[in-house]
Every structure is written in C-alpha cells, then in structure tokens.
Chain A
C-alpha cells in the first residue's frame, strides 16, 4: 500500500495527466454529440457574443463591393427605364400604325399561309443577344436526354451557347447543323452548369442523375454555405455561356455526399422539360472583348 502511494507521489504528474486526459475524453465523447450540456451552451453564448462583435467589424469590409454592385444595378435600372421611356413614346407615335397592322392581321388570319411571329420578350441586358427558337424534338425519360431546336448556324447559333426558356435555364448547344442544333439539356447526366444560391452567393454545379426530370442536384456546395430550403438557385455568370441570374430552381433538400468538403443540394427545376416548346439561344460576346471593355472602366 505504501509502495503504491509512494509511486503515485513520485509520478504525480502522470496521475494528473491521466486524470485530465480522462476529463478531456469525457468531454470529447459526451459533449460533441450531446447538445444538452448547459455549461457549454452558456459558454458558447459568451463566445457567440464575442464572435458577433467580430463579425460586425468584418461586415464593413464588404461595403466597397456592395457599393459597386449597387451602382452597377442602378445603371442597369436606369438603362431599362430609358428603354421603356423610349418604347412608350414610340408606342404613342405608332398608335395609328398599329391600327393598320391590326387590320392587316385580321386579313392574315384568314390567309393561313402567312404566320405572324410572336416577338420574344426582349431581355434588357445589352451584353448579350437572344435568338428565339422552337423545340422540334426532345427526350425526357432517358439518362442522357437531348433537345433539338430549329435554329442552326445559318442563324448564328454555335456550339457552347446557352439556351434558356421563359421558365429558366435549359441547357447548352452541343452540336449544330445549318438549320438545327442539338442542345445538351440540364436533364443529361453529362450536363454541368455553374450556378449559385441567389440569396447567399455560394457556388455549385447543377447536375442531373436520371429519374424525375424536375429534380436535379447542386453539387460541390461548400460545407459552410448558408442556405434555406426554398431558396432560389440561379446561374452564376462565371462562364461565357450564361449571364448571371437566370433562374434554375429552388432548393428542396440536402443530400450528404461522400466528400467532406462539400455537400449536395436537391433542386427542383423551374424548367419543365416535359412541356418545353419555346426557347431562346443566348449569344454572349467573347470574354476577351469583355475584359478589354472592363479595362477601360475605372471604378
């Protein structure tokens, strides 16, 4: 007995080590999975108040970018306003012309060989051109689906151009002939479109793995990304294919992926490929031109 006590006193730092290690182990195995601990939640509240102060300081670092974005948005809205003003005045002028056209349309309806083409809604951003097209063939039920549209090289459609519809993003042109093009839609397992959560700006890739043509996935979303079920996902504008902000879908669920750095979100697509008829092909100016332009602008 005395030997044991002597041994303990002689190696008391070992005893302390084992004791503290036991405490640490208990903390590790109990509290990491056990949220009901009062001490650590109250302690966390202390830390939360400290980190809140820190975040309030760091919030200001984003103001410059926020300002620039607001200015850009302002300019864009002003341009839009100008456009509508011009349209309004033109409409005034063309009122009588319109009467004539309406009269002509009446005649055309009786004559079926002449088709009045509906004008597509003009998208306001001047940095890209849209070209209306009609879906002539499509598959929805397979793993690798394709769309065929009735505009081809003769109308300026080239591979790599983005295709959108009134509902949202559709796909990317992957092959063209003179008068038709083949589109790799979102509902193809090879499709991968850069997109982001509209509210919080976190990026990911839009993927589809077969099955329901309305359900896709947003992969490679960083683990710390903030999102809520129901948030809108839009295109990111990081490529020359799509401009920023074209609606993609809403977040419906979170899937655990094997990758520890990211997770996958379930997306309900806005575009219903089952009843897709009218699409627009988007032509973005080449990026070199864009960077040249950006060089000329001084913030």
Chain B
C-alpha cells in the first residue's frame, strides 16, 4: 500500500517537474532534459510487461497534456517500456531472479549506467524523430537526441548519487 502511494506521489511530482518547470524554462532549443523517464526506469524489475506498458503510456500522456504535444511523449514512453525488460536483463546477472528496484545500490554503478544510457537514448531518439518527422533534418535529430540524452542521463545519475547518500 505504501509503495503504491509512493509511486503515485512520484508520478505526480515527476509530471509536474517535467510539465511546469522543465518545459517552461527552456534553456535552449536543444538539450531538453526528459527527467520523467526515471519513473519508468525505476519500476521494480518483476513488474508485468502489460502494466509496465500501461503505466508508461499514462505517464507519457500526462506529460503530453502539459507540453501540448499529445501522443509524443506517450509514444516514446511506450517504446521505452517495450525495450526495458530486455535492456534490464542484459545488464543484470542471470541468477538475480528476485525482484529489485533498478539503481546504483542494487545493480552497481557501471551496469546501472549501461542500463539507463541506451534506455534514455532510445526514448529521446523516438521523441525527436516523431517530433521532427522529416528525413531531411537527420543531423538536427541526431544532435538533439544526443544532447537530450546527455542532459537526462547526467540528471538521473546526479539524483541517484544524492539519493544514495541519504
């Protein structure tokens, strides 16, 4: 029950941070931190694929409503949710069959980094491709994707470090 409340609390906080602060205070056109993906990445490892898809879709949709981009973040979150189980399995030892919350503590720093980097890369790639929706601007898409990924991964790692010290 408490984990449920906790989850809802984080859901709302992340949507508000993304929708109110990050998308309103635009630092530059490139490099928009997509912090809310941390919610998808930190769902427990044994979560069902369908509920993972559903939560991700809902989260993306809520962010979309704030950013006035219906369907954009939802699509990207869906793709991330689809890829997450394989990405997570790829970075954890095979015998770790019990449930855990992905993080530095449970996975150690290098595997965790190798888990979030491709995840965020996929997510921001989908966002930028769907957003631009044009093949002629491939270099723009690539630059934006890399910048978004860099900022987001840095933010997630910082939060992880700060959270660990508590």
Chain A: residues with CB nearer than 8 A to chain B? Answer: 12-13, 16-17, 20-21, 23-29, 31-32, 40, 43-44, 46-47, 50-51, 54-55, 223-224, 260-261
C-alpha gap A31/B21 in the complex (Å): 24
Q: Check B70 against A32 for contact (C-beta < 8 Å).
A: yes
Residue numbers in B under 8 Å from A43 (CB-CB): 65
**3 closest Cβ pairs, A-B complex:** A27-B71, A28-B71, A13-B49
Report chain A residues within 8 Å CB of B78.
17, 20-21, 24
Closest chain A CB from B151 CB (angstroms): 18
Q: How far is the CA of A23 from the CA of B70 in the complex (A)?
A: 10
Binds A, one of B32-40, B50-58, B105-113, B153-161: B50-58
Complex Cα gap A183–B74 (Å) = 57
Contact with A along B22-55 (1 / 0, CB 8 A): 0010100100000000000000000001100110
Q: If A40-B65, A50-B20 touch, does A13 touch B53 (CB 8 Å cutoff)? A: yes
Minimum CB distance partner of A55 in chain B? B24
Binding site for A on B (CB under 8 A): 16, 19-21, 24, 26, 29, 49-50, 53-54, 57, 60-61, 64-66, 68-72, 74-75, 78, 81-82, 130, 140
Count A-B contacts at CB 8 Å.
75
Report B162 CB to chain A, min CB distance, Å.
23
Main secondary structure of the interface of B (DSSP, over half): helix
B residues less than 8 Å from A54 (CB atoms) = 20-21, 24
Q: Is the CB of A28 within 8 A of B70?
A: yes
Closest to B53 in A: A16
List chain A residues, Cβ under 8 A from B71.
Answer: 23-29, 31-32
Pick from A12, A24, A29, A261: contact of B74, CB under 8 Å: A24
Q: Nearest CB to that of A43 among chain B residues?
A: B65
Q: Please indicate the chain B residues that have their CB under 8 angstroms from the CB of A31 in the complex.
A: 70-71
Residues of A within 8 A of B19 (CB): 47, 50-51
Q: Do A261 and B20 have beta carbons less than 8 Å apart? A: no
**B72 touches which one: A28, A47, A55, A261 (CB < 8 A)?**
A28
On whether the beta carbons of A12 and B50 are closer than 8 Å, the reply is yes
In the complex formed, the residue of A with least CB distance to B65 is A43
How far apart sit A46 and B74, CA to CA, in the bound complex (Å)? 19
Q: How distant is B104 from chain A, measured CB to nearest CB, in Å? A: 28
Question: How far in angstroms is the closest Cβ of chain B from A220?
Answer: 13
Identify B68's interface contact among A12, A24, A44, A55, CB under 8 A.
A44
Identity of the chain B residue whose Cβ is nearest the Cβ of A13 in the assembled complex: B49
Q: Which of A26, A44, A46, A51 is in CB contact (< 8 Å) with B24? A: A51
B8 to chain A, nearest CB (A): 17
Q: Which residues of chain B have C-beta atoms less than 8 A from A24's C-beta?
A: 57, 60-61, 71, 74-75, 78
